[in-house]
Amino acid sequence: MASTESSSPSPQHVVIVGAGFGGLYAAKSLSKDRSFRVTVIDKRNYHLFQPLLYQVATGKLAPSDIATPIRHVLRRRPNVRVVQAAAIDLDPAARQVILIGGTRIGYDILIAATGVKHSYFGNDAWREDAPGLKTIEHALEMRQRIFSAFEAAELSEDPVEQARLTTFVVVGAGPTGVELAGAIGELAQHTLKDEFHHIDTRRSRIILAEGAAQVLPSYPADLARAAQNSLKKLGVEVMTRTLVTHIDETGVRLKDADGREETVEAATVLWAAGVRASRFGQALANRVACTLDRAGKVQVNADLSLPAHPEIFVIGDLAHYAPDGATPLPGVAPAAMQAGDYVARLLKARRRGRSLPSFRYRNQGSMAVIGRHAAVGDLRFLHVRGVFAWYLWVLVHMMGLIEFGNRLVVMTRWAWNYLTRNSGSRLITSVPEARTDHADRAHRSGN
């Protein structure tokens, strides 16, 4: 097997699987050094700003506002090649990534940055009735379900059916669940209240169910309480220490800490509770015998490489990195970006016969927004909430968008929404037949 350190003057070929935050940062950094040739592989042709996906799901933003073509981002990087394809396997002995269809791409260095997908904790049948939020397709499906439920309720003449249609259950009260529930609350209490004349959207029931003792379980208790109070002001029922035991097309069954069960009839159930590693992570485990944690994430060395395979790195949400028994690296964008930048710097140092210290994550804090003028932020030594936290959240997420054009469009949409409370991206662009039960039920209840 060839050494990771190459004495040849020819460029070292780095293959990056996944163009999320970590993969893109690694590619951009390596592209500045002509001693590397970089291939970026992703099954989609765009980079997605996932922290704002919930705003696509609730009609505040359009998909194109938070997505940028990968080729456009890397257009001035002549030593970077972009391949749109799904990487499904690898051959570590031959140092090749295997794409769907059988095409193989060789590498000197491999960086796996394929992220995570939803975990239903062994209840995969729930996926059909409780979509998660990781892709644009997921966000558009959520949008269709949310707004179609209101439309069907407007059509129904049955108060019981109207109540079911305007009941929304969000499972999981991490940042995604909190932001999603808060956004639905804003829709019901403000945005839609004057647009429907047969129903009162303000009477919608929005439930946020969380198994832990507080919302935002990873946040300090004072910020969690502030977030919960803001949610309540938007009409969200917060149920902590509550587990979901069943989901189907009629709703959910919940069990509290005392073992009491409640069945909630709800037309719309949304999942924000758990994640597991991508398919490529399992392929790594199968081919190089690396260790996976309970979520299927790949355990890595202090330099983010795999044991016995210094030519393979794993970064971002796919990596499990817990130095000296510390808390594992969080699955957030800053951690992925720092990891991508670190691996790029490490590879550059290796090419010059140098080394770098172990990877060290610089915690820049975390934030979650609940609604207008309602946000919380754990900035390590400072806890912020309310209006100041909200403006800070807006600034941080605005600057997180990688293209100026996206920033300009998002800023304009947010400004318009702030002035008018009108979310301009509320089109229902598709109505899958599997979900026409909303309209069917409403029609039958009116006869």
Q: Return the active site residues.
A: 179
Residue 175: exposure state from Cβ atoms within 10 A (0-12, 13-18, ≥19)? buried
Least Cα distance to 426 among 50, 52, 61 occurs for 61
Looking from the CA of 216 toward its CB, the CA atoms found within 13 Å total 28
Task: Order the strands of the 305-306 sheet from edge to edge.
Answer: 80-84, 36-42, 12-17, 109-112, 309-314, 305-306
3-state secondary structure of 209: strand
| Chain Cα centroid distance, residue 327 | 20
Residue 64 half-sphere exposure, CB side, CA atoms within 13 Å? 4
CA–CA gap between residue 393 and residue 368 (Å, rounded):
8
Q: What is the DSSP string of 144-191?
A: HHHHHHHHHHHH---HHHHHHHTEEEEE--SHHHHHHHHHHHHIIIII
Cα separation, 42 vs 20, in Å, equals 9
